[in-house]
Amino acid sequence: MIRKIVNIVFCLPCFFVIALLFSIGAQASSAPVVLDADTGRYAVSSQLEYVEDASGKLTFEEIRAAAGTRGFQPVNASTPSFGFTSSSMWFRFTIENRSARFKDWLLEVLYPPLDHVDIYLVAPDGSHAVMRGGDRRPFDARAIKERNINFLLEVQPGDSRDVYVNVRTNSSMQLPLVLWNMPTYIEAKEHEQHLMGLFYGILAGLFVFNLVLFLSTRDKPYLYYVSYLLAFFLFQATLHGLTYEYLWPDAPAWANTALPIFLCMGSIGVTEFTRSFLDIGKNFPRLNHFFTAFLLISVATAAAAFFAPYPLVIRLGTLEGVIASVMAFATGCYALAKGVKPARYFMIAWSVFLIGSLLYALKTFGLLPSVFITNYGQQIGSALEVILLSMALADRLRILKEENERIQRQATTELETRVQERTRELDAALQKLADANKALHELNLVDPLTGIKNRKFFNERYAEEWRRAMRQQYPIALIMVDIDHFKSINDRYGHLCGDVCIKAVANVLQGSLRRPSDHAARYGGEEFCLIIPHGDAAGVAALAEEVRSRVQERVVEFDDKRLHLTVSVGIGIMVPMPDDNSDTLIARADAALYEAKKLGRNQVRMDTHCQMDQDAASPESAGVTAV
């Protein structure tokens, strides 16, 4: 068991690396950004050219005048990322507005920690307008009051403008740029706010839950985990520009100082939670000294953030975050190899999150490109951690229960009574957890659109019914149902209308079943499947025809439209033999469905093997009443 968990843990980095490779785009070009009315969002970063001003003293006029001789270079990446640098970076791109509808475009910088971002919009006559932003300037000075650094560019239809961007920052030098038309931007921001609310809501809920557990149990791992969650919450909110927008908009200096402080607090929380959860002091005394030393260094770095240069502190804080990630990961592996029981689920849960954090930190140093998985590695990892860590806590409760039972056998009568009370409490907690897991499992088997069972339920139940039919040698039938011309309905009336049609067919299927042993499930898209144990050919055919006719008779109303649907139905029946594969019956039903489609749709077709299989059925199964 331990070896399997170790294998899973060490496979996780491979997963992230593979995902990273697939997320890296092709080399970018420096072609103009052509704006039209049909596209609302443009990823500008891949079309940037740049030049590095190591002295930081060149003016815009000098950069513009010397642009040809200095040689702007294409970025050749999905997002320019240069790690930590003291240079002043100049970027440029060209906009061609071929849209007759929009003249106002919003340029969004998706990395709020940049100190100074200056935009130079060059007019056709050579004049230019200057717009300034960055988190070193007061929030109220921003023309657009958003967490990201935004600029409004006015480009008349038919015009072409050169845009120069100058970035100077002590944070990581990266420039993810997106250009929006205003309606698309407003819609995207609403969607983003929902995702942000979900992400921070998960963190807040987990924080409150574990805080309550700590107050009720006084168990130190919960305290350290709560401390870590708070630091991580503040770090993410600061990184996303939310704290600067809502908590300290008039304190740009503190907005920059807070980031390495929260980063160090997160490293401290990870260190102490790992040490407490795995009981490092008891299980690995020598390793405990290293944890103590690292804790002191992290505290010193957090304190130094108040007076030390920001570039030094943010580098140290990021490096300590990497070390904390590697240290927790390595310690968990070591504890797992040594047989420390709580390390099993701990290792899986934390490795996912810490690997995501490691990818983000390496991106910050410029060692990895700025792509989706590196930009949002921490968020992805923390979301998965919420689920996996619940397993670690449940496993820890189980271990405590076993320990209490051992003490119970050795204790006196008085102690035995106290242990029994504690055991009942733990049993109640475990029962609640089991009930919650059972409810979650049942919820995962329901299709959210139609309310009937989903593909996961079908896979599980079909495997059970197949094995049962094989043991008892009775026929099992599958009825595959597919909505005719569904793509045309979607294309003509929209996906909402398609959803209404899918639900209508699902209601017909569910209402056509008569026996508790029969089940309907959404197989995928507009396709459904009925599992009919003990089904003879005549009864199953009658049921299939009933479904077809009821769908044909039903009128689907959507807005002011009345739609008439038809379905094609394929039937497969067989008595499973030990050498048969369960996929065979699915293939037969699917082949019959294909035949129904081929012959004109709105009909029921039965697989040609069905009669042969019925003849081979045992006497007990051959006499089953038709469905």
Concatenating the DSSP letter of every residue in 372-388 gives: HHHHSHHHHHHHHHHHH
Between strands 476-483 and 73-74, the pairing is unpaired
Q: What pLDDT is stored for residue 17 in this prediction? A: 42
pLDDT over threshold 50, residue 619? no
Residues 6 or more apart whose CB falls under 8 angstroms from that of 41 comprise 178, 179, 180, 184, 185, 188
pLDDT over threshold 80, residue 323? yes
The pLDDT tens digits of the residues spanning 452-508 come to 999 999 999 999 999 999 999 999 999 999 999 999 999 999 989 999 999 999 999
- Helix (H) or strand (E) run with residue 311 in it: helix 310-337
Residue 506 lies in a domain: yes
Higher pLDDT, 530 or 213: 530
pLDDT over threshold 70, residue 187? yes
Distance separating alpha carbons of residues 306 and 626, to the nearest angstrom? 81
Residue 555 lies in a domain: yes
Single residue among 169, 187, 205 that ends a domain in this structure: 187
What Cα–Cα distance (Å) separates residue 325 from each residue in 109, 280, 328, 365, 369? 28, 16, 5, 15, 20
The pLDDT tens digits of the residues spanning 74-123 come to 887 777 888 888 899 999 999 998 887 778 889 999 899 999 999 999 98
Question: Closest Cα partner for 271 from 224, 233, 231, 229?
Answer: 224
Higher pLDDT, 493 or 1: 493
Phi-psi region of 572 (alpha: psi -120 to 50; beta: other; left: phi over 0): beta
Arithmetic mean of pLDDT, 533-555: 93
Catalytic residue among 154, 526, 545, 557: 526
Token pair, residue 242, equals 């939310």
Residues 35 and 66 in one domain: yes
Distance separating alpha carbons of residues 400 and 586, to the nearest angstrom? 47
The domain that holds 51 is classified in CATH as 2.60.40.2380
pLDDT over threshold 60, residue 524? yes
Residue 180: strand, helix, or coil: strand
Residues 547 and 605 in one domain: yes
pTM above 0.75, yes or no: no
Distance separating alpha carbons of residues 269 and 207, to the nearest angstrom? 13
The pLDDT tens digits of the residues spanning 277-316 come to 888 888 888 889 999 999 999 999 999 999 998 889 988 9
Give strand pairing partners of 556.
563
pLDDT over threshold 50, residue 591? yes
Residues 353 and 373 in one domain: yes
Distance separating alpha carbons of residues 72 and 282, to the nearest angstrom? 59
| Residue 614 · residue 497 · CB < 8 Å | no
pLDDT over threshold 50, residue 621? no
The domain that holds 616 is classified in CATH as 3.30.70.270
Residues 6 or more apart whose CB falls under 8 angstroms from that of 131 comprise 118, 119, 121, 143, 151, 152
| Residue 547 · residue 571 · CB < 8 Å | no
Q: What pLDDT is stored for residue 29 in this prediction? A: 42
Angle between helices 310-337 and 285-304 (to 10 degrees): 160
Residue 614 lies in a domain: yes
Residues 182 and 209 in one domain: no
Residue 24 lies in a domain: no
Give strand pairing partners of 524.
527
| Residue 331 · residue 280 · CB < 8 Å | yes
Residue whose tokens read 């002091």: 281
The pLDDT tens digits of the residues spanning 397-421 come to 677 777 777 777 777 777 777 777 8
Residues 269 and 378 in one domain: yes
Residues 493 and 526 in one domain: yes
Residue 140 lies in a domain: yes
Give strand pairing partners of 128.
122
Residue 78 lies in a domain: yes
The pLDDT tens digits of the residues spanning 28-85 come to 346 788 888 788 888 888 889 898 888 888 888 888 876 655 578 888 777 788 888 8
User: Structurally, how many domains does the chain consist of?
Assistant: 3
pLDDT over threshold 50, residue 194? yes
Residues 518 and 611 in one domain: yes
Single residue among 187, 219, 253 that ends a domain in this structure: 187
Q: What pLDDT is stored for residue 16 in this prediction? A: 43
Arithmetic mean of pLDDT, 242-251: 87
Please give the radius of gyration of the chain, using alpha carbons only, rounded to the nearest integer.
31
What Cα–Cα distance (Å) separates residue 132 from each residue in 81, 86, 116, 136, 249? 21, 19, 7, 11, 16
Residue 419 lies in a domain: no
pLDDT-derived band at 390, boundaries 50, 70, 90: low
Single residue among 125, 158, 187 that ends a domain in this structure: 187
Residues 74 and 152 in one domain: yes
Distance separating alpha carbons of residues 34 and 97, to the nearest angstrom? 6
Percent of the chain whose pLDDT exceeds 90: 35
pLDDT over threshold 70, residue 6? no
Arithmetic mean of pLDDT, 264-275: 90
Residue 50: strand, helix, or coil: strand
Q: What pLDDT is stored for residue 27 in this prediction? A: 37
pLDDT-derived band at 14, boundaries 50, 70, 90: very low
The mean predicted confidence, pLDDT, of the chain is: 83
What Cα–Cα distance (Å) separates residue 261 from each residue in 234, 257, 282, 303, 324? 10, 7, 30, 8, 15
pLDDT over threshold 80, residue 604? yes
Residues 563 and 599 in one domain: yes
Range in 277-291, 424-438, 458-472, 563-577 the model is least confident about? 424-438
Q: Catalytic annotation on 526?
A: yes
Residue 369 lies in a domain: yes
Residue whose tokens read 């189980």: 398
Residues 6 or more apart whose CB falls under 8 angstroms from that of 589 comprise 478, 479, 480, 529, 570, 571, 572, 607
Arithmetic mean of pLDDT, 356-368: 69
Residues 264 and 363 in one domain: yes
Q: What pLDDT is stored for residue 366 in this prediction? A: 58
Higher pLDDT, 465 or 336: 465
- Domain of residue 608, residue span: 455-622
Residues 499 and 575 in one domain: yes
pLDDT-derived band at 608, boundaries 50, 70, 90: confident
Q: What pLDDT is stored for residue 109 in this prediction? A: 93
Distance separating alpha carbons of residues 541 and 266, to the nearest angstrom? 64
Residues 152 and 219 in one domain: no
Phi-psi region of 570 (alpha: psi -120 to 50; beta: other; left: phi over 0): beta
